[in-house]
């Protein structure tokens, strides 16, 4: 249930190491120091520092390789608890992250997390099909929620998730790390402020060769679809936040299936074309069969682009032929700190559930266009 795509994570994680090597080393040292301290003392220390406690639900590669290490670098939050269905993972996580026994849960005991004041936020890092259930249960437990993308498999589930969090008076955010990342934020600035005039054309693609054919990401019931759900969502986001506009309609085409044993249930690749306000040409592509990773805007007076655009680190960009020059940050740390700051300040998240719902709606329209061969109004 928690098995994430190792090929994907290794591909992206390796690319991130150059930009994150020093922080990762310092995290390891901090973790070693923390082992010397009683877990309860560490919890109290973090609380006194004004940090909010996060519990990770689902200890797959993303939680273990990215989120947990990032929580050693955050200023507004810390790793307070875990929820896992794999008992063998517990000793490793308990030791590495100094987690007290009372903050360790499985899926049967999950709802009792409502009685734990150490945990303020529940971060859902489960297969897509489980996002709605655990977000709703987390809200009913009286906790704020961060949910990984895509938010859910249907717009109806998104509505239920939003309603549950509103009823509980709790924040719901989606794990859109690139809304906190300098290179992508520069694309937002250049596009929406019309620094080079109106954007006339925008193109984006994200893809890699997927590994293990048995993983949940290739099972439609769990993933909801193939690379469009996993990778295409980044391209949808990039097109929207760079132009400042949302698509009106979409046409889409499925690519050929060249690896039969992996793609009996989901698409291997697809391309789509958005109809945008103002006649902007917008095209996207997502694939589990080959590598691509870019976001390019062509405006009236120049071009600006990222390549790679969507990795965990090592991003590069240029305006015309002039390189962008921004630090490569720990995106997950920036994301969680930013979300937590909005909670502490009683402000609306910049990556709210409504944004996740929008993207689920767009993805559903892309799939409908792909299946029918017709233009679909969004």
With a cut of 70, say whether residue 33 has pLDDT above it.
no
- 90 is a domain residue: yes
- 94 is a domain residue: yes
Residue with tokens 């015309």: 320
Domain that holds residue 161: 6-177
Residues 220 and 308 occupy one common structural domain: yes
- 104 is a domain residue: yes
- 73 is a domain residue: yes
Write down the pLDDT at residue 36.
54
Q: Residue 154 sits in a domain of what CATH number?
A: 3.40.50.720
Active-site annotation holds for 107: no
Q: Which of 120, 142, 177 is the last residue of a domain?
A: 177
Q: Is the peptide bond before 376 cis (omega within 30 degrees of 0)?
A: no
Residues 203 and 139 occupy one common structural domain: no
Residues 70 and 188 occupy one common structural domain: no
Residue with tokens 């992206």: 12
Residues 191 and 109 occupy one common structural domain: no
The active-site residue, picked from 51, 96, 143, 149, is 149
Write down the pLDDT at residue 22.
31
How many domains does the chain contain in total? 2
Mean pLDDT of 240-245: 98
Residues 133 and 263 occupy one common structural domain: no
> Quick check: helix, strand or coil at residue 291?
coil
Write down the pLDDT at residue 37.
78
Q: Is the peptide bond before 308 cis (omega within 30 degrees of 0)?
A: yes
Which band of pLDDT confidence, cut at 50, 70 and 90, is reported for residue 42? very high
The CA angle 342-346-347, to the nearest 5 degrees, is 55
Residues 317 and 242 occupy one common structural domain: yes
Please, what is the average pLDDT of the chain?
Answer: 92
With a cut of 70, say whether residue 191 has pLDDT above it.
yes
Residues 253 and 210 occupy one common structural domain: yes
Q: Residue 294 sits in a domain of what CATH number?
A: 3.30.360.10
The active-site residue, picked from 62, 183, 196, 234, is 234
Residues 188 and 144 occupy one common structural domain: no
Residues 169 and 199 occupy one common structural domain: no
Q: Which of 151, 177, 203 is the last residue of a domain?
A: 177
Mean pLDDT of 54-72: 98
Residues 64 and 140 occupy one common structural domain: yes
Residue with tokens 């690896």: 259
Residue with tokens 């600006």: 304
Q: 282-317 pLDDT, tens per residue?
A: 999 999 999 999 999 999 999 999 999 999 999 999
Mean pLDDT of 215-223: 97
With a cut of 80, say whether residue 152 has pLDDT above it.
yes
Active-site annotation holds for 134: no
- 338 is a domain residue: no
CB atoms within 10 A of CB 207: 22
Residues 23 and 90 occupy one common structural domain: yes
Q: How far is CA 292 from CA 269, 323, 326, in A?
A: 11, 20, 22
Q: Which of 126, 144, 177 is the last residue of a domain?
A: 177
Write down the pLDDT at residue 178.
98
Choose the weakest-confidence range: 16-25, 261-270, 350-359.
Answer: 16-25
Q: In the β-sheet with 249-254, what is the strand arrangement from edge to edge?
A: 322-323, 317-319, 302-306, 292-299, 199-207, 281-287, 269-275, 249-254, 376-377
Mean pLDDT of 323-330: 96
- 337 is a domain residue: no
- 341 is a domain residue: no
Residues 39 and 62 occupy one common structural domain: yes
């Amino acid at each position: 249930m928690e098995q994430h795509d190792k090929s994907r994570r290794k591909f992206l994680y390796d690319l991130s190491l150059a930009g994150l090597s020093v922080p990762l080393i310092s995290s390891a040292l901090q973790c070693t120091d923390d082992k010397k301290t009683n877990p309860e003392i560490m919890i109290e220390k973090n609380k006194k520092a004004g940090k909010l406690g996060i519990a990770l639900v689902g200890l797959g590669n993303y939680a273990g390789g990215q989120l947990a290490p990032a929580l050693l670098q955050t200023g507004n939050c810390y790793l307070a608890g875990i929820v896992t269905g794999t008992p063998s993972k517990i000793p490793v996580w308990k030791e590495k992250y100094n987690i007290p026994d009372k903050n360790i849960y499985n899926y049967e005991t999950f709802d009792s997390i409502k009685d734990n004041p150490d945990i303020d936020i529940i971060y859902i890092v489960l297969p897509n099909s489980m996002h709605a259930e655990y977000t709703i249960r987390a809200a009913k437990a009286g906790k704020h929620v961060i949910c990984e993308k895509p938010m859910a498999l249907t717009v109806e589930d998104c509505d239920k998730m939003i309603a549950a969090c509103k009823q509980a008076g709790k924040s719901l955010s989606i794990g859109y790390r690139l809304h906190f990342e300098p290179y992508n934020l520069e694309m937002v600035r250049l596009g929406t402020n019309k620094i080079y005039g109106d954007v006339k054309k925008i193109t984006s693609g994200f893809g890699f060769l997927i590994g293990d054919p048995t993983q949940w990401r290739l099972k439609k019931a769990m993933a909801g679809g193939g690379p469009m759900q996993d990778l295409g969502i980044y391209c949808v986001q990039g097109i929207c936040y760079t132009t400042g506009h949302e698509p009106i309609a979409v046409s889409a085409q499925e690519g050929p299936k060249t690896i039969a044993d992996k793609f009996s249930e989901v698409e291997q690749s697809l391309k789509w074309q958005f109809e945008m306000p103002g006649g902007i040409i917008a095209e996207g592509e997502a694939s589990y069969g080959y590598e691509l990773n870019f976001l390019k805007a062509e405006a009236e007076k120049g071009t600006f682009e990222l390549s790679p655009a969507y990795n965990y680190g090592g991003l590069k960009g240029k305006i015309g032929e002039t390189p962008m020059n921004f630090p490569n940050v720990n995106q997950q740390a920036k994301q969680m700190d930013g979300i937590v700051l909005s909670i502490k300040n009683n402000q609306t998240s910049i990556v709210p559930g409504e944004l996740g719902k929008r993207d689920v709606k767009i993805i559903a329209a892309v799939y409908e266009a792909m299946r029918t061969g017709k233009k679909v109004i969004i």
